[in-house]
Amino acid sequence: MNNIWRPCREFSERYPGTTVAWPLAWHMPMDHYASFIHQNIIKDEVDDPCVLVACYSYGCGWGFQQLSKYLEKWSIDVRCVIMCDPVYRPRMRLLAWRTWINNGPLAPKIKIRKNVNEVYSFYQRENKPQAHELVAMDSDLTDIHDRAQLHKPHEAMDDHPHFRQKVLDVFGDILERRETP
C-alpha cells in the first residue's frame, strides 16, 4: 500500500483542503481513525467532506468495515472505496476458517454499509486467501462496480500497477470534479 500512498500524497498539494492520511494496518483501532477524520472535518469547517479509501485484504474485510461503521456514527459518507482482493475477517477467531471459503452457502460476504457511495474492487484466483463477494446493504445508496480480475497471487495484489492506477485515476477524477464549479 505504500506504493499507492506516496503518489496520493500529491493530492493534498494539488487540491487545497485535501488531507491524505497515513496507511493503517487492518487491525488498528478504526474508531480513533474515524474520530481523526471527524475532527479534521470540523477543524477545517468542511461542508461536503470527501472521504476516499484504498484498502487491501483484511483491510477491506475488517479494517474498512470498522472504519465505515464508525464514520456512519458521525454521519460521514465514504465517497469511494477501492478494494484490492477484499478478504472477509470474522470478529471471532473461532470462525477464522471462513476466510478460506469463497463459494457455496458457507462463503462469507462483505457487507458494504449505506454510507459508502461507490465501490471498485479487484480480485485474484491464483492462491488463498481470495476475495469475497461484496454486497451493498442498500443498493440504492451504494454503487458496486463490476470487479476486475488480476492475475497475481494475493500477496502481490496491493502492488499491482492496475490497482495503483485505478486509485490514482478515480481519486484524481473525484477531487478534480470537486474543484470544478
pLDDT digits 0-9 by tens, 106-159: 999 999 999 999 999 999 999 999 999 999 999 999 999 999 999 999 999 999
- For 129, 142, 158, the CA distances from 155, given in Å and listed in that order, are 9, 28, 7
pLDDT digits 0-9 by tens, 79-114: 999 999 999 999 899 999 999 999 899 999 999 999
Identify the burial level of 2 via C-beta atoms within 10 angstroms of its C-beta, where 0-12 means exposed, 13-18 middle and 19 or more buried: exposed
Domain map of the chain by residue range?
A: 2-17+28-36+48-179
DSSP secondary structure letters along 94-131: GGGGGGG--SSTT--EEEEPTTB-EEEEEE--SSSS-P
Closest CA to 102 of 154, 144, 145, 54: 154
pTM: 0.95
Least confident of 34-48, 60-74, 114-128, 160-174: 34-48
CA distance 30 to 64: 8
DSSP secondary structure letters along 133-144: EEEES-TTT-EE
CA distance 49 to 60: 21
Could you tell me the three cell numbers for 56? 487491501
Identify the burial level of 132 via C-beta atoms within 10 angstroms of its C-beta, where 0-12 means exposed, 13-18 middle and 19 or more buried: buried
For 150, residues 6+ apart whose C-beta sits below 8 A from its C-beta are 122, 123, 124, 157, 160, 162, 163
Specify the CATH number for 2-17+28-36+48-179; select among 3.40.50, 1.20.140, 3.40.1350, 1.10.357.
3.40.50
CA distance 110 to 71: 17
Q: Where are the beta strands (DSSP E) in the chain?
A: 51-56, 78-84, 109-112, 118-123, 133-136, 143-144, 148-149
